[in-house]
């Protein structure tokens, strides 16, 4: 994998991360990941549902059965069964989620939305670990999910639609929160092998010393990649601790560090060439790579007082460093973006009575970020393109950002079966931008580009401030012991991302942008009994001020879209040994304003990369007390690949087979066979620069693993 590093003159550097980890978390150690190898268990009873705890709604543990929010949960048992190579394989089993896998560990997120792209598209989703966003507000990256230690998660929680008052900017379409397990004694080791040199080693190790418990969770993976000159090496390490002081303060914290070195394969171009056996595994961009390092450290401090108030404060530190070749741009410029943050999540809770809970809080975060884009080699192509994208630096800037957000939340239950959830959040984002190059659209030496000027334009130093209010209302009615109905009205928002404000092109000297806003209404019905459970949710969302880059490459608040859908999920125990489970989605995402693209008025058109149907169904079989198998059908419906709705991907159906054999109480063997029918398909299809382009899907592949648990 080293032969394609020719454009890189750098080595992986942690920029002082290790000393910070020692200072912030007071621990260091080595271990390598695991997910325990217990057999997946059917979980279809009301009692089991009531035992599921979530933290994403109010940032403290509460029963999923009593949570008035649209939350989907993937349990530890299901995560162990899936043993995902990419988080898409796990998250896409949940209602409303449709993550596209690009190449390697890259991804594009969709939650009740199209698969969004562009400089700030990632701002539509809040992606977190332990409730702490993976990236700072204003500094998102579309691939940031690879910064979460999902391979070691105790569960993955997804809030569909605008998130609660406890979370703000970026929680427009939804939130994914990766929750790590609580520390425990003992641990386990998992070793896995797969095709093309794929190897994974996973270890967890925990211990208790009095009232101090801690655990290491780590994983290392390497894969050559099925496409030419591709593959990745990835390592993740988390440390979790819990401690209660003599004064009754509960401390719950730790750190996560990640490293990814990836050789990236670009798009395969040409109509339906994802099915062309001569091209589907080729790589037109052998020079492309992606290096990413991230670190987060946090401590949650909580205490309950005699007056009924509970105080929870979570200070945290975050650092992210991403360096890659933009193989999708002319001239193949490299980008190095970094940011570091200090933040505090503070909340107070009071159960005023058995029926009423009130909460107040404040989130603050300060971030220092930077971006450097430079081109090392001469652009290849037409004379105008060569002239407009010169060798040298294109952007070099720093951005300091401050986020301040007070919020309030109220829950009340009545004896007649009704309960209500009310929330309100105010958020203020301020950016201070410092351009470290010459202002304007010149070369880095100040000379003017030919053919009308340089492609890239650097605005002068400036400050920008954005403020938003977000009210929330949820009403639920318990129809009987089995069924309940819900109504939720939410408002979401996101401030423009730093790249949308300061990474300008062509004639745009200032990006005069407003916050993106979305109004959401949803109706839900759910229920559970001894052998079955279900959830049906219909939603309607109206999003305005969406930021787009138009045909002149100007960043504008120039898109109005609507999003309607129906989500169906549930499970049914067919017999004592057979269980059927799944989630399926019907959706329509449309452009609503008059806008011309390619000479076509796209009002009323489907937003590109927005299948109207997608989902998965699993048939699970407990063959014997120690043998378990699952056959999964995963479906992606057809979708348009451009706003004009002139080009279309036909969709695909995949079958996956998973099996577990618990040979002994502490020893489990597993086999996962993905794409069982060897379907030729596209993980992602789009249309750009006059061509159909595809990230091709992987062929049939099998992964074999062994898991040993120890105490």
Residue 436 and residue 396 in contact, taking contact as beta carbons nearer than 8 Å: yes
What is the mean pLDDT of the segment spanning 194-212? 94
Q: How far apart are CA 180 and CA 689, in angstroms?
A: 42
Alpha-carbon separation of residue 245 from 139, 185, 249 (angstroms): 36, 20, 5
Q: At residue 366, does pLDDT exceed 50?
A: yes
pLDDT exceeds cutoff 70 at 222: yes
The position carrying tokens 């004694």 is 185
Please answer whether residues 619 and 94 qualify as being in contact, where contact means their C-beta atoms are separated by less than 8 angstroms: no
pLDDT band at 55 (very low <50, low <70, confident <90, very high): confident
Share of the chain above pLDDT 90, in %: 84
pLDDT number for residue 525: 97
Element (H, E) at 76: helix 76-82
269-294: pLDDT as tens digits: 999 999 999 999 999 999 999 999 99
Question: Which token pair is 54?
Answer: 């979530």
d(CA 461, CA 669): 59
What is the helix (H) or strand (E) element at residue 650, kind and residue range? none
Measured distance between the N- and C-terminal CA atoms of the chain, rounded to whole angstroms: 38
Place of tokens 């507000």: 137
- With bands split at pLDDT 50, 70 and 90, how would you rate the model's confidence at 49? low
Predicted pLDDT of residue 163: 86
Strands 155-160 and 667-674: unpaired
Q: Which helix (H) or strand (E) holds 623?
A: strand 613-624
- Residue 484 sits at φ, ψ, to 5 deg, of -145, 155
**pLDDT at residue 674 in the model:** 98
Give the tens place of pLDDT for each residue, 546-555: 998 887 888 9
Contact indicator for 145, 503 with CB cutoff of 8 Å = no
pLDDT of residue 596: 84
Give the separation between CA 561 and CA 133, rounded to whole angstroms.
26
Report in angstroms the alpha-carbon separations of 652 from 103, 267, 522, 622. Answer: 18, 18, 29, 28
**Domains of the chain by residue range:** 27-710
For residue 50, name the pLDDT band (cuts at 50, 70, 90): low
Q: Contact, 289 vs 262, CB < 8 A?
A: yes
pLDDT tens digits, 3-46:
333 333 333 333 343 333 333 333 333 222 223 333 334 333 44
Which residue do the tokens 């929010």 mark? 69
Distance CA 622, CA 89 (A): 22
Predicted confidence (pLDDT) per residue in 577-636, tens digit: 999 999 999 999 999 999 888 888 999 999 999 999 999 999 999 999 999 999 999 999
Extract the runs of DSSP E, i.e. beta strands, from 180-277: 186-193, 199-209, 212-223, 231-244, 250-263, 268-269
Q: What is the reported pLDDT for 11? A: 35
Alpha helices in 529-688 (DSSP H): none
Look over the chain and give the mean of its residue pLDDT values, rounded to a whole number: 91
pTM: 0.92
Q: For position 8, what pLDDT does the model report?
A: 38
| 79-137 per-position pLDDT tens digit | 999 999 999 999 999 999 999 999 999 999 999 999 998 777 889 999 999 999 999 99
Q: What is the pLDDT of residue 118?
A: 78
Q: What is the pLDDT of residues 225-244, one digit of tens each?
A: 999 999 999 999 999 999 99
272 CB-near residues (< 8 Å, 6+ apart): 692
For 296-312, what is the mean pLDDT? 96
Beta bridge mates, 199 = 193, 222
The CATH class, in words, for 27-710 is mainly beta
Average pLDDT on 701-707 reads 98
Q: Please give the structure tokens belonging to residue 547.
A: 């930021």
**Residue 18, SS3 per DSSP:** helix
Task: Answer whether 260's CB lies under 8 Å from 226's CB.
Answer: no
Contact between 216 and 239 under an 8 Å Cβ cutoff? The reply is yes
CA gap 656, 673 in Å, rounded: 6
CB 655 within 8 Å of CB 632: yes
3-class DSSP state of 127 = strand
The pLDDT confidence band at residue 507, using thresholds 50, 70 and 90, is: very high
């Amino acid at each position: 994998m080293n032969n394609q590093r020719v454009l890189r003159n750098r080595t992986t550097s942690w920029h002082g991360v290790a000393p910070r980890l020692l200072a912030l978390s007071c621990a260091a150690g080595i271990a390598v990941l695991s997910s325990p190898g217990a057999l997946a268990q059917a979980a279809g009873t009301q009692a089991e549902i009531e035992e599921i705890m979530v933290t994403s709604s109010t940032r403290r543990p509460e029963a999923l059965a009593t949570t008035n929010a649209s939350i989907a949960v993937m349990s530890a048992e299901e995560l162990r069964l899936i043993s995902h190579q990419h988080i898409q394989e796990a998250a896409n089993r949940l209602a409303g989620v449709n993550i596209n896998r690009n190449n390697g560990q890259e991804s594009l997120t969709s939650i009740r939305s199209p698969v969004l792209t562009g400089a700030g598209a990632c701002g539509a989703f809040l992606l977190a670990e332990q409730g702490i966003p993976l990236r700072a507000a204003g500094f998102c990256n579309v691939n940031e999910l690879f910064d979460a230690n999902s391979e070691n998660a105790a569960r993955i929680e997804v809030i569909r639609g605008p998130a609660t008052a406890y979370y703000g900017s970026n929680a427009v379409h939804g939130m994914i929160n990766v929750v790590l397990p609580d520390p425990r004694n003992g641990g386990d080791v998992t070793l896995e092998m797969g095709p093309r040199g794929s190897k994974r080693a996973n270890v967890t190790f925990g211990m208790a010393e009095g009232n101090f418990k801690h655990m290491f969770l780590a994983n290392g993976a390497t894969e050559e990649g099925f496409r030419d000159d591709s593959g990745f090496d990835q390592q993740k390490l988390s440390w979790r601790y819990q401690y209660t002081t003599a004064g009754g303060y509960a401390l719950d914290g730790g750190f996560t560090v990640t490293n990814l070195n990836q050789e990236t394969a670009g798009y395969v171009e040409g109509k339906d060439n994802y099915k062309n056996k001569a091209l589907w595994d080729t790589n037109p961009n052998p020079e492309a790579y992606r290096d990413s390092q991230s670190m987060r450290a946090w401590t949650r401090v909580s205490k309950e007082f005699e007056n009924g108030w509970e105080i929870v404060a979570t200070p945290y530190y975050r650092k992210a460093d991403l360096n890659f070749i933009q193989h999708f741009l002319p001239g193949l410029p490299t980008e190095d973006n970094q940011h570091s943050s200090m933040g505090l999540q503070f909340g107070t809770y009071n159960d005023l009575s058995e029926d009423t809970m009130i909460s107040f809080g404040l989130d603050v975060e300060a971030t220092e970020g930077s971006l450097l884009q430079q081109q090392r080699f001469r652009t290849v192509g037409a004379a105008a393109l060569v002239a407009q994208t010169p060798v040298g630096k294109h952007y070099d800037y720093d951005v300091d950002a401050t986020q301040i957000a007070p919020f309030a939340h109220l829950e009340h239950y009545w004896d007649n079966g009704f309960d209500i959830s009310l929330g309100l959040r105010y958020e203020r984002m301020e950016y201070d931008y410092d351009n470290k190059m010459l202002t304007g659209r010149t070369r880095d030496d100040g000379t003017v580009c030919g053919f009308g000027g340089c492609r890239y334009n650097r605005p002068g130093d400036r400050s920008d401030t954005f403020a938003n209010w977000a009210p929330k209302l949820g009403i639920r009615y318990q129809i009987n012991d089995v069924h309940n109905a819900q109504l939720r009205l939410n408002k979401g928002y996101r401030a423009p991302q730093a790249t949308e404000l300061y990474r300008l092109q062509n004639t745009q000297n200032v990006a005069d942008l407003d916050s993106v806003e979305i109004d959401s209404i949803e109706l839900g019905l759910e229920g559970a009994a001894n052998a079955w459970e279900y959830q049906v949710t219909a939603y309607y969302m109206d999003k305005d001020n969406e930021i787009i880059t138009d045909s002149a490459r100007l960043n504008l608040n120039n898109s109005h879209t609507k999003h309607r859908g129906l989500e169906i999920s549930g499970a049914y125990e067919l017999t004592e040994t057979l269980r059927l489970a799944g989630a399926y989605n019907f959706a329509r995402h449309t452009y609503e304003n008059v806008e011309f693209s390619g000479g076509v008025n796209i009002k009323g058109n489907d937003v590109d990369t927005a299948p109207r149907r997608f989902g998965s169904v699993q048939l699970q079989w407990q063959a014997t007390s120690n043998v378990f198998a699952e056959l999964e059908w995963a479906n992606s419906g057809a979708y348009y690949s451009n706003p004009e709705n002139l080009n279309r991907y036909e969709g695909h159906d995949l079958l996956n087979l998973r099996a577990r054999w618990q040979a002994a109480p502490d020893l489990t063997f597993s086999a996962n066979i993905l794409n069982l029918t060897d379907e030729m398909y596209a993980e992602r299809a789009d249309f750009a620069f006059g061509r159909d382009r595809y990230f091709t899907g992987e062929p049939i592949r099998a992964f074999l693993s062994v898991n040993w648990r120890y105490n």
